[in-house]
Amino acid sequence: MSFAEFSAGLVHITLVACFTGFTAWRLRSRLLPGWSGSPARLVEAVAAIGLLLLAAELLGLFGQLKVFPLVILLGLVAVASWLWLMPRPAGPGDSVPPSPAVSTGAQVLAFLAAFAVFAQWGAFTSYNLDHGITNFDSVWYHMPFAAEIARSGSVTAFFHTETVFLNWFYPQNSELVHAVGMVLTDRDFVSIFINLGWLAFGLLAGWCVGRPYDRPHLTMLGVAVLMATHTLVVREPGTGKNDIMAAALILAAVAIMLNRSASRPDPPGRVSPDWAMAFGGLAVGLAAGTKVTALAPAFLVTCAVIYATVPGRRLKATGVWFGAAFAGGGWWYLRNLVAAGNPLPQITKIGPIDLPGPDRLQIGRPDFPVAHYLTDTGVWKDYFMPGLDQGFGSVWPLLFALVLGGLFLVMLTAHGRLTRTHGAVALLAILAYLVTPLSAAGPEGDPSAFAINLRFLIPALGLAVVLIPLSSWFDRGWRRTALGLILVVLFIGTSATDPLLSAPGRNFGLMVAMLFVALPFIFWLGRERFPGVSSVPSLAVGVGLALLVFVFLAWPLQKSYFDSRYRDFEQEESSGLAQPYRWADGISDSRIALAGTTAGFKQYGFFGPDLSNEVVYVGRNAPHGGFEAIGNCEEFARTVNEIDPDYLVTSPFLNFNEYEDPIRSPETLWALNDRSLQVEVQPILDADRPVIVWKVDEPMDPERCRALEPEDDYIPGLK
């Protein structure tokens, strides 16, 4: 990336951030004038995220998600808000969340927790700065979805990454955020840092949960405990994964509604349909539009809010909440409904009711839930207990004991109906995890994906740990102190799985924490000595200064990133994609067809460093939005000719149950049989099932398929 390109991208990002931020501030100051401090900032953040995604979706409906249309649209909205959304003072009917004074000790505890978790996440972010985004789910569909949205400027089409799963039906709010970064910069450098933003957002939401009840440091520490777990730390920082985004948005919705329920004029613990409820509904909708596994906690939080609504106003509350939620995440489910006749095509049966959905010819691995093995002591010994130890550290029994016992305390003793109901909601969300498909994926008796998929539990667990300090049992005295000590022990115990001081990227992590936590905190502590510049709060000055310093660091960082991106994607013996990835680093503005699921599951590198390549997986459309593998040589050749690629990549079928032993797939043989294809990237000589890049100079000849034997036509992984 040249300095001119870097500067242009920086200008685009700055304009979009300023336009959305200004509009969000005007909305909050007009609609919720009684809100101030951290809850106001949280509402503004939710509004800004919603505004950005709605603008991107609107432009994407017409294939116009490009730099100038996006900047112009957001600029016009900002001008409109400046002209017609004048701030107003709080009136007698406006809600004003309580804001008890927070002791210096509580502030220091929150700072230390935030500093530690930011340093830890920063250390793991540095790995992706040094290598490129290599996380499996990220190179499989998160980043390809984002790159295709950015390349096409559209959010209407389904992008098929392979033919085994149905992930093109997933909601894609997080991918849309990454796509916006790609649109504004023509690169994916911004994506490396997006999850650090969601980490900050989640910690802010945790602080806001406890703010009306004089214990924000404890609720924020509860969030930090979850953020420091191995389950998140090794997979979320610097990647395209979206578990942190979904969890943070659920927490934001809860925080907004708890601040509203602690306000007057409604009775304590009750809420009325107003703008605070709309922003809470927007946050829940954004979470549901991010990840399917967030639907259960999002639905349960919705039930809690409606249940706690002032009697006689529940119908209006339902309309306000669901209207805002649909704006936040409804597009992706509406798109599925139109294409497949089902907003969740993965679910084709509810009890005796059959729902429309595509058939799957191939399977990767069985999608058992945890509930399938609840009474299997052997699985508990060999998989569940080691997986919990890996995911949450050796303190996981203490964590779950605190969660279960604490939730019962919340349900029995918390202040107000909404808080108590949220305790029940958190417990139900944890139970919903037990029946979540893929939570114990793997062959019968071998749930090898249990540890990896513990991340499905994070939204529910995060909701639980942030609510426990709200029990009136912890209102004062030694009990509150004891809870704080337990949370500190849990934080240290979960962090010990991935200790900061021994992480390879520890220096970068410490720099990130110093810049984005320590520097703003210094301004916060000195807010009386540094009252701000031109009436801007001191904390905002500190954050702004941190961002300014980071801008100067970004230029050498991005240069180093693109110099090393995918130079050592993985070992050759793993899947044979290291050579093709290095080859793709020099390819741009080309159409690349992929065949064989190994290339499909690990396809992101083929988009190239400037994301200008069009990547198409070879398959055929099927009823109800399905996409199937092709098991016939002649049909394969005709489909490749229809795609008209510049290059074709053939690869084996990825063996989910044993990655080191891929299964032979017929596409390589079909390509070898066709004289029109020339090898572009030579596979390693001793590879039994190689990944080969072919140069396509002329159409394939379907007639050549007649030279093959009938058994050469087949579909690997067929059910």
- Identify any residues that bridge with 350 across adjacent strands, giving them in sequence order: 353
**pLDDT score, position 366:** 79
Task: List phi, psi (to 5°) of 615.
Answer: -105, 130
Average pLDDT over residues 169-179: 97
Angle at 669 between CA 665 and CA 673, to 5 degrees: 160
Q: Which residues, 6+ apart, have CB-to-CB distance to 8 below 8 Å?
A: none
**pLDDT score, position 535:** 58
Radius of gyration over alpha carbons of the chain, in Å?
Answer: 26
Q: Where are the domains of the chain?
A: 1-94, 572-712
Q: How far apart are CA 449 and CA 511, in angstroms?
A: 34
Q: How far apart are CA 440 and CA 376, in angstroms?
A: 12
Return the percentage of the chain with pLDDT > 90, whole number: 75
Residues 456 and 433: beta-carbon distance below 8 Å = yes
Residues 153 and 63: beta-carbon distance below 8 Å = yes
Question: pLDDT-based confidence at 532, cuts 50/70/90?
Answer: low
- 480-528: pLDDT as tens digits: 999 999 999 999 998 877 777 777 888 999 999 999 999 998 888 776 6
Residues 591 and 646: beta-carbon distance below 8 Å = yes
Residues 267 and 312: beta-carbon distance below 8 Å = no
Q: How far apart are CA 713 and CA 631, in angstroms?
A: 5
- Out of 277-291, 410-424, 430-444, give the one with best mean pLDDT: 277-291
Average pLDDT over residues 455-475: 91
Q: What is the DSSP letter of 238?
A: T
Q: Is the pTM of this model over 0.85?
A: yes
Average pLDDT over residues 57-66: 97
Reply yes or no on whether the pLDDT at 332 is more than 90: yes
Q: Lowest-pLDDT range, 409-418, 561-570, 597-606? A: 561-570
Q: Lowest-pLDDT range, 108-122, 278-292, 348-362, 646-660? A: 348-362
**pLDDT score, position 717:** 81
- Residue 236's Cβ-side half-sphere holds a number of Cα atoms within 13 Å equal to 31
Q: What is the largest CA-CA distance in the chain?
A: 84
Q: What is the DSSP letter of 678?
A: E
Written as one string, the DSSP assignment of 1-17 is --HHHHHHHHHHHHHHH
Reply yes or no on whether the pLDDT at 73 is more than 70: yes
Helix, strand, coil percentages (3-state) for the chain, rounded to 5, are 60, 5, 30
CA distances from 404 to 78, 232, 263, 460, 494 (A): 46, 21, 28, 12, 18
**pLDDT score, position 340:** 92
Average pLDDT over residues 335-356: 87
Mean pLDDT score of the chain: 91
Average pLDDT over residues 245-270: 92
Task: List phi, psi (to 5°) of 667.
Answer: -60, -35
Question: pLDDT-based confidence at 573, cuts 50/70/90?
Answer: very low
Average pLDDT over residues 523-542: 68
Average pLDDT over residues 174-184: 98
Q: What is the DSSP letter of 92?
A: T
Q: What is the DSSP letter of 309?
A: B
- 644-690: pLDDT as tens digits: 999 999 999 998 878 778 889 999 999 999 988 998 887 764 466 78
Closest CA to 450 of 360, 376, 363, 503: 376
**pLDDT score, position 78:** 97
Angle at 344 between CA 340 and CA 347, to 5 degrees: 100
Average pLDDT over residues 573-587: 83
Q: Which amino acid is at 151?
A: R
